[in-house]
C-alpha cells in the first residue's frame, strides 16, 4: 500500500485510524436495532473499517513495507 506520507503527519494518520475504529463501533451499535439482513451489511462494513484501520496503522508502524 502506498501512502502519501509527505502530506499527512503521524498524528493525522492516528486520527484517521481512530475515526475508522470509531465508525466500526458505531456500525456495531447500530446493528442491534435493524433487521438481520441489514445487520449483516453493517457488520461487513464494520469489518472493512476495522481492517483498513489496522492496515493503515501497520503501514505507519512499518514504513519500509510500503515500498515495492
What's the pLDDT score for residue 8? 87
Residue 9 lies in a domain: no
What's the pLDDT score for residue 68? 47
Domain with 41 in it: 16-61
Residue 23 lies in a domain: yes
Terminus-to-terminus CA distance in the chain, angstroms?
Answer: 9
Residue-wise pLDDT tens digits, 14-57: 999 999 999 999 999 999 999 999 999 999 999 999 999 999 99
Residue 10 lies in a domain: no
Tell me how many domains the chain contains: 1
Residue 47 lies in a domain: yes
Rounded to two decimals, what is the model's pTM?
Answer: 0.76
DSSP string, 5-55: TTTS-HHHHHHHHHHHHHHHHHHHHHGGGS-HHHHHHHHHHHHHHHHHHHH
In whole angstroms, give the CA distance from residue 62 to residue 13: 13
Residue 25 lies in a domain: yes
Residue 34 lies in a domain: yes
Amino acid at each position: 500500500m502506498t501512502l502519501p506520507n509527505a502530506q499527512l503527519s503521524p498524528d493525522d494518520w492516528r486520527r484517521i485510524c481512530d475515526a475508522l475504529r470509531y465508525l466500526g463501533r458505531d456500525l456495531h451499535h447500530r446493528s442491534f436495532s435493524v433487521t438481520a439482513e441489514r445487520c449483516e451489511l453493517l457488520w461487513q462494513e464494520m469489518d472493512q473499517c476495522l481492517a483498513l484501520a489496522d492496515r493503515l496503522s501497520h503501514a505507519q508502524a512499518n514504513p519500509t513495507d510500503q515500498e515495492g
